[in-house]
Every structure is written in structure tokens, then in C-alpha cells.
Amino acid sequence: MAFDIEMIKAVYDKYPTRIAAARKATGRPLTLTEKILYAHLSEGEAKVAYERGVSYVDFKPDRVAMQDATAQMALLQFMQAGRDQVAVPSTVHCDHLIQAEVGAVADLTKAKDKNREVYDFLASVSNKYGIGFWKPGAGIIHQVVLENYAFPGGMMIGTDSHTPNAGGLGMIAIGVGGADACDVMAGLPWELKFPKLIGVKLTGKLSGWTSAKDVILKVAGILTVKGGTGAVVEYFGEGANSLSATGKGTICNMGAEIGATTSIFGYDEKSAAYLRGTDRSDIADMADQIKEHLNADAEVYANPEQYFDQVIEINLSELEPHINGPFTPDLAWPLSKFAAAVKENGWPAKLEVGLIGSCTNSSYEDISRAASLAQQAVDKKLLAKSEYTITPGSEQVRFTVERDGFLNVFDKMGGVVLANACGPCIGQWARHGAEKQEKNSIITSFNRNFAKRADGNPNTHSFVASPEIVTAMAIAGDLTFNPMTDTLTNEEGQQVKLEEPRGLELPTKGFAVEDAGYQAPAEDGSSVEVIVDPKSDRLQLLDPFQPWEGTDLKGLKLLIKAKGKCTTDHISMAGPWLRFRGHLDNISNNMLIGAVNFYNEETNKVKNQLSGEYGEVPAVQRQYKLHGVGSIVVGDENYGEGSSREHAAMEPRFLGVRAILVKSFARIHETNLKKQGMLALTFANPADYELVQEDDSIDIVGLESFAPGVQLTVVLNHADGSKDEIKVNHTYNAGQIEWFKAGSALNLIKAGV
């Protein structure tokens, strides 16, 4: 479970020269975000100043982390790269496929049986290619990373949107799709638009019922779910320095809920204490030596408005506990106003379930503070009125809090400990009765609360708060209860009041664990066999995509002309399709089934030009593939927005779609299409979208002289014998054109180019 000390030393060794070059290029003091980004530029680029929100830049991350749902396709792709080992330290974490139902032991046992072939594959492919493997039950990816791998000033990508959790230890950590992870593991640089910067200045100090969770709940209310898009949120100030490292992790984790690229705190005494408390004193010692590089320049903190694109200031001493929701994480309510909001909006006041833990709030500090309230309930003879669950973030935390008696306290209060996994937070919750779709309320210390997310019931009103507030609400069973001011009636009919929660940032006896759940890879994986059953319906080895044939593309059939919003969820749905994330053929049966057909206003119903009949999109495309006929997809604005899942690009490629022609692309999806060897084209004149007819045979001309910045021509051959010639744009650079010619970026890597 080594944390790659030599790699970290190499990162720190280059900091002084890289940051000096960046300061010279920009001609001004630097924020912490800029320092880390400039320190991780691909070789030869450190002397260039980039325009925020405009410039696309290649970076060299220090490590990759993958969760089990997304790791499957990422590693299946990596197997095609021709590499003996990953190029950067990488880990796989089995946390997404464990469904919560009755309790930790039974749920984990069931998951191991149900997902055995996926776990065996992930374990074996990790063993072969030098990837650390965290077994099911070891914990949630982000908590495990914070405890073992995050380090100040580092840069990491992870195949999960809450990867920014590691920003609590001063790391630039960004959520990506599996294709990006694959490329970095194969040794390619990683492209990112140089982000804008939002500075959040924290003054004062938290006290009483208020916790770090309330900081991000407040920020979410200010910025909304879109306010951080394209930006890194950098926290600083005396208030920031007063927060625990895990509290900072909570704040950075939920930065995903405001659309931020990532969030980060500088290195301070709290960071050092956490590193030393998790047996990483040598990292703390090294970080201490370059501490000035692990924070913004003093001039930035003195005059933040000059260096950030936006500045927000929050006084922690005045901050009130918040509850956000329902149905969106940015609907922020101060605790003093929440009861009135419940009544005014007609939300169910009776609380059915309180859930604490998850990757967002499962630290020792979180659990110890919640346990202090549970102990009060026991001592004051209060019976919890709501169901109450606890999801530890890692086996190390679970073992330690059990040793220190907290789990026993929760048990006395009526709590149920779930497996060290994502569980209800991502919808892996077999909640009994949810199928009735009754109107009800739950409150969690998780990060997201969209409709149907936790239990599949669109009428479940889900609220987000700190573990302390969740625990107090579960004891009361009533969302109109304010633990700061209200009393409760105990079993003896007495009025009692909950006192302020108390806890410890780190265990006084240190962390302990018998089996953390880590499996180190083989030193030489050449003889290791990757386990994939050829008959499996969940896993399928990939074959390389065919290279470009060297000619213009003629006679393409129109598969679908998508109308309006077409996100990656429309292109490759999740839900029940999650089980096929490692089987490209099977998951391709969901390709574009959510897209609206321009010609009939229906989903999953398009014309088969070979038969003249209408059929489901994947079935029609399979007919084209069977007969060796290429096809094209036409789309509207911002095609491919949403999740970065690479399946939305791989499925069309696999089934024989040759090009995607749209008014505009979401950036990540456009890049994913390029990596899979597809043509991603945009109308030079968006109005030409209207010229595309249902029975068109389409040619793409100019590919033999395909070059950066040079338009291509699309010929729309209509059924009546007429035709339209239109110009289309692309954003391929020279290297990406080589991806297209080779058939995919991976083919080029495998060829050693």
C-alpha cells in the first residue's frame, strides 16, 4: 500500500523551477491552483502563460484512481494499449456494486457472489498491469485515496465526479471518464481547458452545531449547481486553516455539486497533522520544506479580487447549520428557516430515514461527532423516531470507530451499519417499500439528492446536511425540529434538549485496522492471466477498431437526426444498463435509445433505409453493420453534455457509425469521439441542420487531405435525386488526425507512435 514516495519527491523537486517559470510567464503572483497546474504541464510547456477558460493545455497527472463501475471499460481499453504496466501509479476501488439492504455483512457477502466475475476481472487485470486493487468492503474510493494516496501539490484524475475530495489535502484532483484514465495510464498527456478561478475566503472559526459540511452547503446556495462550471474553487484564509483535513475534503467533495472542475485548500498544520496521523510523516516532512509553493503567493491572499475571477467571503463564526434540498443540492436553507420552509412548501415533515457516512462525510471526526449525539439519545432515554444508517468510508475508519465504541453507541440508538461502500448515496439501496412511490422525506450527509437517486422513488424528498444534523433529525423523526433551540420528550415524558455535538479530528489512540482490503500487484505481471469468461454477459474483451481505409466516406445512411437535448444519458443510459459497463456489445443495445428523432418526435424509433421500416436505433444500426453500410448521426446544440462516460462514444464506433455531425459538442464528448477514431464534425452554418432529410445518402469529402483548420465537405444526396453540399468544421489537431487514421488513439499507442 506504498504511497509512491519517490514519485512525490520527483514532483516536489520540480516545483521551484516550474513555478519560477510560470511566474515569469504570467508576470504576476500566482494562486495555489496555478502553481500546481503549471507544475504539472507536459514537458516543454512550463514557460507559457495560458488564458483562463480558453486555452486547452496538456498536463501530466501523478496518479489515476478508478471505481469499479467505470474501471471495467477503462481497463478493457488499456489492455489494447500494448503496455506491460501502467505509466503512472494507479488503483482500482470496489465500492459501487455493493447494494445496501439489511446490513454490512450480509450485503457484502451477497455483492461478492453477485459481482464475482467483475471483481475477479478487476483483481486479475490490476495484478497483471501493476495496479493497486482495493477489494470490495475496503472502502469508498475517495476516502481511501485521502487516507493513503492524496498529497499536497499533487495532481490526480479519477473516474468519479467526486474525485476532488482529495483537494482537502491540497491536491488538484479531477473527475474524468474512463477513456481519459486509460490514456494517462498508457502514458499520454491529459488535456484540460485552463480553468477560471473562484476564490472563497473563510474567516472566523466553526463552533457548536456548525461543521465543514455547512460551508459547502452555503457555497452551493450562492453559486448554484452551475456556478462553478469551468472553474477551480480555491479556499483560503484563517478560517480555512482552522478546518480539519477531512472537513476540507468534505467541502472539496461537494464542489462537484456546483459544477466545479475541482476544489482545493492550501497546505497547513491541519494537513500535516492528518498526514502524520495516517502514517505519512515523510510526506509531511517533504511538504514542510516547500510549504510556500503549496499555498498561493502572499499578494494573492492580501488582494484576492485581483487574482481570482470571482471572490466569495464567508465568516465561519457567523455561519449557521444548513439543510439543502429537496431534489437539488443547491437549494440552501439555514437551520433557523428550515422548519418554516417545510411547512410552507408542504414537504413531508415526518422523517422516515436518516443516513450518515458516504464518501462525503465518513471521517473519524464526522462519526465521532454523530456518535456524541447518539450517546446523548441513549443517556437521555430518547428513542430514535426514524430509521438510521451509518456508512463508513473505509475499513480503517470502520475498524477504528468500532474499537473506540462508536458503533456500539449507534447500535443502542437503533442504527444499522452498512458496508464500506457507496450504497444509498448512488442509488445502490434496496429500500423496502420504495416501489410504492409514496411521498416521504429522508435526510442524508451525502452529496447529491436528485429525484430518484437514492431509492428510485420520485416522491422521496431527499435533504442534505451534516452528519450531526442528520443524527439529531433522526432522533426527533421530525424535519421541523431545530436541535439548537427545541426540546424532545423522552421515554419518561420529560423534556430534554440535545447538547452541542463533540468529536475528535483524529483518534487519540491512532488509526487501527486488521485488514485494510488492499491487494498489491505482482512485481512481474507477464504471466498473470486476465480472467474474462468468453460466455459472460457482463464482461467482454475488446478488439481494436479498424483503421481508416484512406478514402472519402461515401454512401453513409442517416441513422438518426436527434432533436434538442442529447446528453450522454440519452446516448448511453445508466440505470439497469450499469451491469453491462464491461460488455461493449451488450451495452451497445442502449445506444441513442433516449434521443428524440427529429422526423417523428419519438425516441428509439428510426427508419431503416435498407427495409423502409421503422425500428429501434441499435437494431437498425446493427442491420447497417451487418450489410457493411456506414452511417452518420446528426445532432443539435451541445451534443454529448453531462457525464463523461466513454461508452457514449464507444457504442456508435463499435456498431459502425462513422461520423457525428452536430451544431455544437460538449467538449469532453467531442474528445472521447476523437479518441475512438470517429469523425466529430460541426455545421459551419448551423442552419444547414435543417437540410438533412430522413432518406439521405451522405458523403464526407476531403478526408484524403484531412488537416487542422481545413473544412470538410458533406454531400447530402436526397431521395428525389437532388443534393446539397455543405461545409463542416472540425477541431482536430495533427495528433488527433493520426488517431482517426489509426482507428483510435489506443491503436496509435499500441503501434508505438
State the catalytic residues: 95-96, 160, 448, 643, 645
The β-bridge partners of 264 are 234
Q: What is the Cα 18 distance to its own chain's centre?
A: 29
**Pairing mode, if any, of strands 723-729 and 679-683?**
antiparallel
| Residue partners of 386: CB distance under 8 A and separation at least 6 | 351, 352, 353, 354, 473, 474, 475, 476, 477
| Residue partners of 211: CB distance under 8 A and separation at least 6 | 247, 321, 366, 369, 466, 467, 468
How many residues can be counted in the chain? 753
Containing H/E element for 7? helix 5-26
The β-bridge partners of 722 are none
- Cβ atoms of 168 and 281 within 8 Å: the answer is no
The β-bridge partners of 582 are 539
> Cα(632)–Cα(635) distance, rounded to whole angstroms?
10
Place of cell 458503533: 407
557 phi and psi angles, rounded to 5 deg: -90, 145
Place of cell 495516517: 278
463 phi and psi angles, rounded to 5 deg: -115, 150
If one counts every other C-beta atom within 10 angstroms of the C-beta of residue 270, the result is: 22
Place of cell 420528550: 489
DSSP codes of every residue in 287-327: HHHTGGGGS--HHHHHSGGGTSSEEEEEETTT---EEE-SS
Side by side, the strands of the sheet bearing 63-67 are 172-175, 155-158, 63-67, 90-93, 132-134, 518-519
- Cβ atoms of 266 and 170 within 8 Å: the answer is yes
Q: Give, in order, the Cα–Cα distances in Å from 497 to each of 50, 116, 349, 500.
A: 56, 48, 20, 10
> Cα(362)–Cα(445) distance, rounded to whole angstroms?
9
Place of cell 428510426: 606
| Residue partners of 735: CB distance under 8 A and separation at least 6 | none
> Cα(593)–Cα(559) distance, rounded to whole angstroms?
12
Which grid coordinates are listed for 210? 456548525
> Cα(246)–Cα(166) distance, rounded to whole angstroms?
9
38 phi and psi angles, rounded to 5 deg: -65, -30
> Cα(357)–Cα(609) distance, rounded to whole angstroms?
53
If one counts every other C-beta atom within 10 angstroms of the C-beta of residue 24, the result is: 11
